[in-house]
A = this chain, B = another copy of it.
Amino acid sequence: MTGIEKTRRRVTSIDVARLAGVSQSTVSRTFSDGAPVSPEAREKVLAAARQLGYKPNVIARSLITHRTNIIGIVMADFTNPFYPNVLERFTQRLHDIGRRVLLFNAAPDQDIDDMLPLVLQHQVDAVIITSATLSSEMADECARQGTPVIMFNRYVPGAKANAVSCDNVAGGRLAADLLLDAGYRRLAYFAGKEHTSTNVDREQGFSERMRERGQTEWLREPGTYTYESGYEAASRLLERDDRPEAIFIANDIMALGALDRARELGITVPDELAVIGFDDIPAASWPAYSLTTIRQPVNRMIDETLELLLERIEAPQAKPVLKFMPGELIERNSVRVRERVIDQ
């Protein structure tokens, strides 16, 4: 090209100003939207900028505007296919509204509280935390500093932090209803990670509804929201004499593990065993599984999260909000079609 071979020094707004014959302020204004610049000045600046290959330095800009346009996202569980999907959509949507994503990966059992100060040092405009929770002290710390925090798919009942989540209690009730309506009686619940709000709520909804419908006993196996834990829970339970007829499994990826184990044991689904999961990950619809599940309304949850996020960036001190969105039953072939309900 006609390349300026300075090659070394980075080009700044001052260089552009000099070349264009205007002040540095005018260059700055040319690259800020609303600012008043005459068409001629703007043109000279843009030409000079093009010639020098100038791009505004967002670091320097952030320092003075106190806005980075960066959103911190803390993500804990990449092995569950539900979350990469969530991350992708968040990233796309945020990109479209001019925000960038600073990604933090919390190790499975790492305390988020250690990670958050690192996030805050970057002066992010807000933080989204998925599949992990925050202590109330840390939530307070963020509030004090004026950085909004939104938890996605988790919440802490007491804490002063915003959260958007699926209505997992209602989802658990749906699952119980579906299995009972279909005529299954010996049921089981495969738990996800203990003490997570998703697991607690799904189990609570399931249990509530079971009792309301006169059921008092069912089996329970612990798990960790991984494929392997679903596979192993199924191993333990399906070789018993009193093996269950139907299982509500706390998430889809565990359910796939359980279905694979059932297949290995020659147990046919849904005749000898029904399985219902939670999330509706892509693999749930694959013919190999055709998993009946409760779909989380991911798009709406993300919409709500972003809306809340933008609100809180404007008004950080507003009162924390919890939003719950209903899940949707997706019937496939891992639960037999429900009998017509005659009595009751």
Contact = CB atoms under 8 A, between A and B. Distances in A.
Interface of A: 3, 7, 10, 53, 55-60, 62-63, 68, 70, 73, 78-79, 81, 83-85, 87-88, 91-92, 95, 100-105, 107, 117-118, 120-123, 141, 144-146, 227, 256-257, 259-261, 263-264, 282-283, 286-289
B103 A91 contact: yes
A12 to B, nearest CB: 12
Contacts of A144: 3, 7, 53
B59 A123 contact: yes
Given A10-B145, A59-B63, 9 more contacts: A7-B144, A59-B62, A78-B84, A78-B85, A78-B88, A79-B88, A87-B103, A227-B286, A288-B288
A334 B52 CA distance: 57
A134 B78 CA distance: 27
A330 to B, nearest CB: 17
A59 B107 contact: no
A53 B288 contact: no
Nearest to A11: B145
A327 to B, nearest CB: 22
Nearest to A101: B103
A120 B58 CA distance: 10
A95, A107, A264 interface centre (most CB from chain B within 10 Å): A95
A55 B145 CA distance: 11
Contacts of A146: 10
A70 B70 CA distance: 12
Contact of A263 (B55, B79, B100, B287): B287
A179 to B, nearest CB: 23
B91 A87 contact: no
B286 A256 contact: yes
Contacts of A68: 59
Nearest to A290: B260
A101 B78 CA distance: 15
A91 B76 CA distance: 11
A252 to B, nearest CB: 13
B105 A103 contact: no
